[in-house]
Amino acid sequence: MVVPPLIERKRDGGSLRDDEWRGIIDAYANGSLPDYQMAALAMAVYFRGLDPDELSALTDSMLASGDRMDFSDENRPVIDKHSTGGVGDKTSLLLAPMLAACGAVVPMMSGRGLGHTGGTLDKLEAIPGFRTDLKLDRAVRQAREIGLVMLGQTAEIAPADRKLYALRDVTATVESIPLIAASIMSKKLAEGLDGLVLDVKHGSGAFLPESARALELARTMIGLGRTRGCPVVALVTAMDRPLGIACGNALEMREAIAGLSGDGPPDLMEVTMALGIEMLRLSGLAVNDGTARSMLERAIRSGDALERLAMMVAAQGGNADVATRPDMLPSADTIIDVNAVDGGTVTAVAPRPLGRVIVELGGGRRTVDDMVRPEVGLEVLVKPGQMVAAGDLIARVHARSAIDAERARSEVGAAITIGDDAPVVLPLIGWRVTHEHTTPWEG
């Protein structure tokens, strides 16, 4: 295969054929197409996009580069959700056990935190002993047995995507909607799903801050899933402030356990319920929203959802007792308060700088090889629009040392601004997007 003319055609706004994308991805996966040609092609795609046929061909090629989970003789619906990520976004930790408790099978492959955003795998690994590096057949077996498994992308799943994702990360070609969509969907389609619910974030702390881009990504993934036999519904939700209170790995695990115990913060629970309702509707386990909501509420009230979490923790190497004794999670040596300097209205709780503070505390990654500290993070106790008095407690910093904590305190103070005017905030849930419609959320 002679690659430069293919790069040139994409560069000049043309399209590559199915067999050309397949050839490119096969050659890249087996190492015969070098990184520098793929980097140039990825940048050309960044500028020129992909037409629907190309997007399908790229996704299918990455999917075909690896194995798939096989749930063909499973009677229960196999369902998953995916979030484009943000700060404090721990809905996956609640939804997988809740859906399993409601009778679905949830084979959830997740990612690690990078940049200012947290990652589900890092949060799970805050549980001592918890393993996320499962083999595919082992993961499928567990999902069948207890209804859920949460793991990292294995070497067996879409290896071409793994390699391309790592390359995009160091060549400024991450923020390409077709490349994002193909990457996510090649992994999710490998899970053998009956349905997928997307939580696409918008707002300043989102990967794609602009609503129009978030909607475009949602529609692109919905279209891809549809033509591949996997129904997809998306909610576009707010990431102009953190979701919930806890931000940081062990802190978020703790808040997820609180949520599964009926004691989660309202915004976290509202998004979790909305996504869970979509998952139950899409899986066919609930015929309308009211039934779905009741099922989810019962899963929490009965303790079934928390029990599923405990079963998963035990199955994946952790101590199941953590589900009822979250104090078993690691905690920081230094915990300090951040107080409001002035009184007034909270005008912004900026997730991007707060996410960066967590990285600086050791709770996130600068490079993929960085080790992550589970115990550090922030409790962000205020929301935009809230009134505070001077001296009010607005956040807590969980740090490894007093020096780290003090430095974080001033940065947290800067990220939480207090003023006179009521801020413009995004609605917690902005749109519901299906193949047919994009409708503003009405709760």
Which residues make Cβ contacts (< 8 Å) with residue 69, sequence separation at least 6? 107, 136, 139, 140, 143, 190, 191, 192
Q: How many helices (H) and strands (E) does the chain have?
A: 16, 14
What is the helix (H) or strand (E) element at residue 247, kind and residue range?
A: strand 246-247
360 lies in the binding site for its own copies (CB under 8 A) = no
15 lies in the binding site for its own copies (CB under 8 A) = no
27 lies in the binding site for its own copies (CB under 8 A) = no
289 lies in the binding site for its own copies (CB under 8 A) = no
SS3 letters across 358-383: HHHHCCCCCCCCCCCCCCCEEEECCC
* Cα 91 from chain centre: 8
Q: Classify burial at 368, counting beta carbons within 10 Å of its beta carbon; exposed 0-12, middle 13-18, buried 19 or more.
A: exposed
313 lies in the binding site for its own copies (CB under 8 A) = no
Question: Candidates 41-49, 225-233, 309-317, 395-403 — which segment interacts with its own copies by CB under 8 A?
Answer: 41-49
16 lies in the binding site for its own copies (CB under 8 A) = no
Question: Candidates 40-48, 149-157, 253-261, 333-341 — which segment interacts with its own copies by CB under 8 A?
Answer: 40-48
Q: Which of 417, 264, 404 is nearest to 334 (CA)?
A: 404
Q: Which is nearer to its own copies, 163 or 308 (CB)?
A: 163
Question: Candidates 38-46, 82-90, 100-108, 393-401 — which segment interacts with its own copies by CB under 8 A?
Answer: 38-46
Q: Which is nearer to its own copies, 168 or 241 (CB)?
A: 168
Q: Which of 25, 40, 236, 292 binds its own copies (CB under 8 A)?
A: 40
User: In the stretch 167-196, what mask flags binding to its own copies with x, by CB under 8 A?
Assistant: x-xxxxx-----------------------
Question: Candidates 15-23, 32-40, 142-150, 267-275 — which segment interacts with its own copies by CB under 8 A?
Answer: 32-40
Question: Is the CB of residue 203 less than 8 Å from the CB of residue 237?
Answer: no
Residue 136, both tokens: 């595919």
DSSP 150-188: EEEPPTTS-HHHHHHHHHHHTTT----HHHHHHHHHHHH
CA dist 304 and 116 (Å) reads 33
Q: Which is nearer to its own copies, 325 or 366 (CB)?
A: 366
User: In the stretch 47-66, what mask flags binding to its own copies with x, by CB under 8 A?
Assistant: x-------------------
Q: Which of 16, 29, 42, 140 binds its own copies (CB under 8 A)?
A: 42
Chain positions contacting its own copies, by CB under 8 A: 3-5, 7-8, 11, 34-40, 42-44, 46-47, 167, 169-173
